[in-house]
Structure 1
Amino acid sequence: MNEAEPITLACLDLAGTTVADGDTVECAFAEAIATLGIVSGTASYDRALARFRDARGGSKIGIFRSLFDEPRARAAHLAFERSYHDLIDRRGLTPVPGAADALTRLRGAGVRVCLITGFGRGTQARVLDALGWWDRADLTLCPDDVPRDRPWPDLVLTAALRLGVDDVRHIAVCGDTAGDMLCGRRSGASIVAGVLTGAHDHDRLHAAGATHILPTIAALPDLILRTPANADR
């Protein structure tokens, strides 16, 4: 990429990347599988939790489908969404420090922003409502909007089509999971930045194809806008 090929679209993940997660998503997952009789202290619980952690970044219904048959997967996903919504109500949600400013800086510089997630549309809406972020992005997408979720490139390519991107090299992708990195690389994005505020660590993000590793999304505007940044290539 050179100065003639600026970044014009940033596709940014939600939980763990722009939204501080802590253990909220994992707690909702544990509560969801408990409704199917899978509880802490059992081998089945350990296997399910390991699968969940490994697949972070993908659609939640997809994770449940990898664990259960279709009726139980749908029941678990519904329980997950209810639990996550309840946790939002009890705990609230906060942005990752610097995330809101990063969105403002990017859009102020003419970079369009798409917020993407593995949550279903209803949960994505609850997150955006809780943060008051509906006006922070040019587009929001979730697995309901595409044929295939991450790690396939469909979310990023759909954002490019809807926002009229001329060249996939003009795209930056930022996320906290290996699935985010694979999605970005498969889409052809020039910048695929992993952040260390979420599910997967430096080595996992690097192995999945991250072009840069950032401490938080707060460093992304400096990287995209080509000003000095603390980025590990």
Structure 2
Amino acid sequence: MILAHDGGTIPIRLACLDLAGTTIGDIAMIERAFAEAIATQGIVPGTGAYARAMVHVHRSRGCPTIDVFRGIFPDNEAQAQAANLTFERSYEGAIGRSGLIPMPGIVETLDRLRDGGVKICLITGFSRTALSRVLSALSWSDRIDLALSPEDTGRGRPMPDMVLSAVLRLGIQDVRQVAVAGDSESDMLCGRRSGASVVAGIMTGVHSRERLLKGGATHLLDSIADLPTLLLDDKMAETPVGASAC
């Protein structure tokens, strides 16, 4: 529960959780897929263009993958689309070869939240096709209520569309009953723009404490495994903005 301005409490009824870097640990796999994708478009390791492109990839984590490539190839939509297609093929191939590694404690986290009356929505910057492949590999269908990609809602992060769509689809009455958790600045911006009461930065991913706070994190957590305590423990609910479990 979260402490309201009037002294009462607002129960959290929906948790929107990011995938890569937050609930699954596939950061290196994604980095390689991005590198392979831009290499097919002539941007290869060892060049200044490659270094600049990978910096852009890092800064844009959490955003729709197609938007990341549009940032790298701003004047060539066909090139961006081709790179995005290569990215998806590379990533799906890696999943097929190595599988996905759930973050420590994530299964218990999902179960504790749902047992506490909190619905679960996974949100991502992946396409719907890539998201479906991830969900198939994870076999979490009985532990989540919804999973959304930017294609499902019109706009991806840092816009709030996926969170607000989850609110509507899952019948949440008040955006203050929502918690958003992720490892990137765009996750934090998405959560703040949606009106969520809790915007938790998870310190297991790509962006630093400073970037997460810059994006508007209300809390910082060592891992996703700490989220149930934050959302379900009345004392933790009173933790001030910017406080950290780190």
TM-score computed with the length of structure 1 as normaliser? 0.96
Q: What's the offset of the Cα at 1:109? A: 1.1
Q: What's the offset of the Cα at 1:133? A: 1.3
Q: Which residue of 1 aligns with 2:71?
A: 66
* Conservation of the 8 A alpha-carbon contact between 1:31 and 1:79: yes
The question of 1:232 aligning with 2:239 is answered no
Q: Which residue of 2 aligns with 1:37?
A: 42
Q: What's the offset of the Cα at 1:228? A: 6.2
Question: Residues 91-170 of structure 1: matches in 2 within 5 Å?
Answer: 91-170=98-177
Q: Which residue of 2 aligns with 1:20?
A: 25
Greater displacement, 180-189 / 128-137? 128-137
Deviation string, structure 1 residues 145-190 (Cα, Å, up to 9, x no partner): 1121100111100100111111110000000000000000000000
AA of the residue aligned to 1:9: L
Q: Which residue of 2 aligns with 1:47?
A: 52
* Conservation of the 8 A alpha-carbon contact between 1:28 and 1:80: yes
AA of the residue aligned to 1:54: R
Distance in 1 between the 2:191 and 2:123 partners?
12
Tell me the SS of whatever aligns to 2:44.
Answer: coil
Unmatched tracts of structure 2, length 5 or more? none
- Structure 1 consecutive aligned stretches of length 4 or more whose deviation exceeds 4 Å: 227-231
Tell me the SS of whatever aligns to 1:115.
Answer: strand
Deviation string, structure 1 residues 47-96 (Cα, Å, up to 9, x no partner): 11011100000000111111211100110000000000111112211110
Question: Residues 146-225 of structure 1: matches in 2 within 5 Å?
Answer: 146-225=153-232
Distance in 1 between the 2:183 and 2:133 partners?
20
Deviation string, structure 1 residues 71-125 (Cα, Å, up to 9, x no partner): 0011000000000011111221111000111001101111000000000011111
Distance in 1 between the 2:49 and 2:235 partners?
47
Distance in 1 between the 2:186 and 2:99 partners?
26
TM-score computed with the length of structure 2 as normaliser? 0.91
* Conservation of the 8 A alpha-carbon contact between 2:113 and 2:228: yes
Tell me the SS of whatever aligns to 2:244.
Answer: coil
Distance in 2 between the 1:139 and 1:148 partners?
17
Distance in 2 between the 1:133 and 1:29 partners?
26
* Conservation of the 8 A alpha-carbon contact between 1:114 and 1:139: yes
Distance in 1 between the 2:234 and 2:33 partners?
39
AA of the residue aligned to 2:244: D
Unmatched tracts of structure 1, length 5 or more? none
How many residue pairs get aligned? The number is 233
Q: What's the offset of the Cα at 1:226? A: 1.5
* Conservation of the 8 A alpha-carbon contact between 2:61 and 2:186: yes
* Conservation of the 8 A alpha-carbon contact between 1:139 and 1:159: yes
